[in-house]
């Protein structure tokens, strides 16, 4: 089997130089080309920092201590640095929670899109870049791409901005797309539309997707496989169908019980902490990490 | 839309100018001391003083005097200095360009040093380069311009004499024919590079001394605004999409942070006019600020009013320019004012 696009192994993260606090305690996960994998957990569980470590973003702030290994597209990224920086925007891209605040308010979409395209092709002419940007925006069903390019983010709706972000993220045909709670700031219908769009585009291009989410409903719709993360540890790993039909870890069961149902019943009480939640990682059949398969 | 902003700012400025003129007119006249007596000296007879007072309408009621002043002003006449006996407008025309030249060059130094120092500090926040940048900025802010003047004169004019410390040109250098009054420009227009270099040589120390305070303020503000911007999602987005760090410092983090900085930059620029007088004093710079202080001490009525009005006008023009620039570079303001 080929090497996964993203392989995180025994990742540990500690913040702070003097008052140290450990937030990841050995996270392992992998995403293969074309796969859609979800990383699910409550806020503060470490899912967003895992994504930012994989992009090499967190390492640049200094003040963090990383152990373990992250391989992105064949490049070792755990220490951060130039190699992973050069992959960003080209081989790995990211979609953010609130698209409107993730676009620069002082520049038109046009300028930002050119910059994105030029990270892959530095010598791209303005005209060529604009043509590609328009094509990319048309692909995400933006009705008047030329007008959108001439707009500032604050002039467009949240849904439009989300589409712009998706177009930018996929413009350089990355092999991995990390979506950090995409559209959580948007209303539900727009969120659903953009997720669908992202899924279709990723599928046609064979882009692997790592979806970071706290929303099991979204995960069930979207992902092939699911990692459940709790307090900096992966507690359960399964195919989506397996996880929803047969949740084995007490924390996963508690999370599933917390999905509000339209049919009533209300929200059950989910204990904030439970000694059960600290149970060891559960791996469903056929879901071993690639390096665990070899003898 | 720019015109609309310009029009409303000009209207407001006119009202401010009228207010300032009334205020300075009244203050200059109610200050104790007889300007005619000061001008003529202790030996002049009472009749001579009375004659001068009558000649300058100093015994008329204040509103009447103001009315006469406004009438004269309407055809460009700012009155006559009691001392030089020349029209005040002639004095101002002689001294203003020197001050403007100093202030403009100083403002450029302030912006061209302050903005990059702040931006680089913000980029390397918390590291050694940042500490150095902050120290430089703090030194600039907390040391008055005239102290810088003396320090620079001592270091670069005395111990290591590579700069002249007095005046605008060497005695041996002929003054270029007046076109703008800016020696830098006039010498170029006259095609005399030697004079240009000499003028620049004389200008550097006073301009730097005057600039350092504002430079520190601009650097500190740029740094803090940019650090705030660095925490924004759009900077993380720029990093996540592989924008080069240099492009982020100089563009994607700098421009959003520059918008609030620009307002202060403009105010600092205008404040240079006020701070210029001590620097002009230290460097023997024949400028308007020094002239203004001299005439206040001599209670030279028309000259006080004229100088203050000119400096106020320069302040207001500077503010209008800044307002227009802010409108131009901030898309939110630009687009929202287009809508109505």
Name which of B249, B229, B248 is nearest B240 in CA terms: B248
pLDDT above 90 coverage of chain B, percent:
36
Mutation choice for A interface testing from B130, B230, B234 by most A CBs within 10 A: B234
Residues from chain B contacting residue A212 (CB–CB below 8 Å): none
pLDDT-based confidence at residue B73 (cuts at 50, 70, 90): confident
Say what the pLDDT of residue B340 is.
Answer: 42
CB-based contact B335 A62, cutoff 8 Å: no
Q: Is the pLDDT of residue B165 over 80?
A: yes
Q: What is the CA radius of gyration of chain B?
A: 24
All structural domains of chain A with their residue ranges: 6-94+177-283
* CA of residue B163 relative to chain centroid, distance: 23
| Chain B nearest C-alpha distance from A82 (Å) | 11
The answer to whether the CB of A202 falls within 8 A of the CB of A176 is no
**Looking at the DSSP assignment, which residues form a beta bridge with residue A21?**
A15
Q: Read off the pTM.
A: 0.82
Mutation choice for B interface testing from A62, A106, A158 by most B CBs within 10 A: A106
Residues from chain B contacting residue A103 (CB–CB below 8 Å): 234, 237
Name which of A98, A86, A92, A136 is nearest A114 in CA terms: A136
Which residue of B lies nearest to A168 if distances are taken between CA atoms? Answer: B241
* CA of residue B327 relative to chain centroid, distance: 22
Pick the CATH number of B98-297 from 3.90.1150.10, 3.30.70.100, 1.10.3720.10, 3.40.50.1370: 1.10.3720.10
Which run of H or E residues covers position B132?
helix B128-142
Which among A60, A105, A155 has CB closest to B256?
Answer: A105
All structural domains of chain B with their residue ranges: 98-297
Which run of H or E residues covers position B53?
helix B46-55
pLDDT-based confidence at residue B108 (cuts at 50, 70, 90): very high
Q: Is the pLDDT of residue B237 over 60?
A: yes
Say what the pLDDT of residue A263 is.
Answer: 60
The answer to whether the CB of A110 falls within 8 A of the CB of A149 is yes
Say what the pLDDT of residue A229 is.
Answer: 93
> Dmax over Cα atoms in chain B, in whole Å?
85
Say what the pLDDT of residue A94 is.
Answer: 92
Q: Please state, rounded to an integer, the average pLDDT across all residues of chain B.
A: 88
Q: A7-38 burial by CB neighbour count: b if 16+ within 10 A, else e?
A: bbbebbbbbeeeeeeebbeebbbbbbeebbbb
Query: Two tokens at A35?
Result: 């796969």
Which among A85, A103, A107 has CB closest to B242?
Answer: A85
Name which of A114, A125, A120 is nearest A93 in CA terms: A120
* Angle formed by the axes of helices B62-74 and B2-30, nearest 10°: 140
Say what the pLDDT of residue A268 is.
Answer: 62
**Lowest-pLDDT range, B32-36, B123-127, B159-163?**
B32-36
* CA of residue B128 relative to chain centroid, distance: 34
Residues from chain B contacting residue A136 (CB–CB below 8 Å): none
Segment B258-296, tens digit of pLDDT: 988 988 888 888 888 878 888 998 998 988 888 888 888
ipTM of the shown complex: 0.86
Say what the pLDDT of residue B339 is.
Answer: 47
Say what the pLDDT of residue B192 is.
Answer: 87
Say what the pLDDT of residue B263 is.
Answer: 85
Q: Which CATH class is domain A6-94+177-283?
A: alpha beta
Residues from chain A contacting residue B237 (CB–CB below 8 Å): 94, 96, 102-104
Residues 6 or more apart in contact with residue A67 via CB below 8 angstroms: A10, A11, A12, A13, A78
- Greater pLDDT, A186 or B89: B89
Which run of H or E residues covers position A228?
strand A225-230
Which stretches of chain A score pLDDT less than 50? none
Residues from chain B contacting residue A53 (CB–CB below 8 Å): none
| Chain B nearest C-alpha distance from A22 (Å) | 22
The answer to whether the CB of B218 falls within 8 A of the CB of B265 is yes
Say what the pLDDT of residue A179 is.
Answer: 92
Say what the pLDDT of residue A262 is.
Answer: 58
Say what the pLDDT of residue B159 is.
Answer: 92
Q: Is the pLDDT of residue B94 over 80?
A: yes
Say what the pLDDT of residue A267 is.
Answer: 57
């Amino acid at each position: 089997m080929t090497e996964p696009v993203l392989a995180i192994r025994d990742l540990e993260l500690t913040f702070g130089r003097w008052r140290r606090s450990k937030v990841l305690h050995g996270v392992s996960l992998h995403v293969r080309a074309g796969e859609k994998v979800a990383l699910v957990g409550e806020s503060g569980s470490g899912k967003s920092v895992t994504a930012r470590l994989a992009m090499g973003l967190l390492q640049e702030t200094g003040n963090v201590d990383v152990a373990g290994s992250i391989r992105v597209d064949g490049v070792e990224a755990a220490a951060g640095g130039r190699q992973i920086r050069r992959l960003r925007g080209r081989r790995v891209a990211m979609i953010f929670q609130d698209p409107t605040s993730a676009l620069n308010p002082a520049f038109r979409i046009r300028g930002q899109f050119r910059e994105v395209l030029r990270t892959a092709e530095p010598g791209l002419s303005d005209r060529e870049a604009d043509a590609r940007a328009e094509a990319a925006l048309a692909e995400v069903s933006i009705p008047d791409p030329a007008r959108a390019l001439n707009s500032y983010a604050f002039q467009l709706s949240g849904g439009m901005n989300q589409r712009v972000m998706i177009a930018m993220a996929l413009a350089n045909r990355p092999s991995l797309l990390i979506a950090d709670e995409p559209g959580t700031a948007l209303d539900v219908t727009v969120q659903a539309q953009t997720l669908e769009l992202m899924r279709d585009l990723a599928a046609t291009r064979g882009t692997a997707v790592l979806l970071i989410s706290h929303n099991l409903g979204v995960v069930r719709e979207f992902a092939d496989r699911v990692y459940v993360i709790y307090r900096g540890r992966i507690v359960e790993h399964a195919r989506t169908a397996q996880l929803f039909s047969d949740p084995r870890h007490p924390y996963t069961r508690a999370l599933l019980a917390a999905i509000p149902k339209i049919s009533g019943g209300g929200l059950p009480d989910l204990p904030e902490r439970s000694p059960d939640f600290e149970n060891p990682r559960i791996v469903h059949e056929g879901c071993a990490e690639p390096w665990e398969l070899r003898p | 839309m720019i015109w609309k902003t310009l029009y409303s700012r000009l209207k407001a400025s006119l009202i401010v100018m009228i207010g300032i003129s009334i205020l300075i007119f009244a203050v200059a006249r109610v200050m104790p001391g007889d300007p005619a007596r000061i001008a003529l000296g202790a030996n002049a007879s009472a009749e001579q003083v009375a004659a001068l007072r009558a000649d300058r309408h100093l015994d008329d009621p204040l509103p009447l005097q103001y009315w006469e002043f406004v009438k004269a002003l309407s055809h460009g006449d700012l009155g006559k200095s009691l001392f030089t006996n020349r029209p005040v407008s002639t004095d101002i025309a002689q001294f203003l360009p020197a001050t403007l030249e100093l202030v403009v060059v100083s403002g450029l130094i302030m912006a061209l040093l302050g903005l990059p120092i702040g931006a680089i500090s913000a980029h390397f926040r918390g590291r050694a380069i940042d500490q150095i940048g902050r120290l430089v900025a703090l030194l600039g802010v907390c040391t008055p311009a005239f102290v810088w003047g003396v320090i620079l004169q001592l270091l670069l004019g005395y111990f290591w004499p590579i700069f002249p410390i007095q005046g605008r040109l060497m005695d041996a250098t002929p003054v270029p024919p007046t076109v703008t009054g800016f020696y830098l420009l006039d010498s170029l227009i006259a095609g005399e590079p030697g004079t240009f270099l000499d003028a620049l040589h004389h200008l550097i120390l006073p301009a730097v001394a005057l600039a350092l305070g504002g430079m520190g303020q601009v650097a500190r503000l740029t740094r803090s605004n940019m650090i705030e911007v660095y925490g924004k999602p759009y900077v993380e987005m720029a990093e996540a999409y592989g924008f080069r760090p240099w492009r982020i410092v100089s563009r994607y983090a700098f421009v959003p942070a520059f918008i609030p900085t620009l307002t202060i930059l403009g105010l600092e620029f205008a404040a240079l006019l006020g701070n210029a007088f001590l620097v002009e004093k230290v460097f023997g710079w024949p400028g308007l600020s020094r002239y203004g202080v001299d005439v206040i001490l001599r209670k030279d009525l028309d000259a006080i009013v004229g100088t203050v009005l000119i400096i106020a006008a320069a302040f207001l023009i500077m503010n209008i320019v800044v307002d227009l620039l802010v409108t131009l570079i901030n898309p939110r303001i630009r687009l929202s004012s287009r809508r109505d």
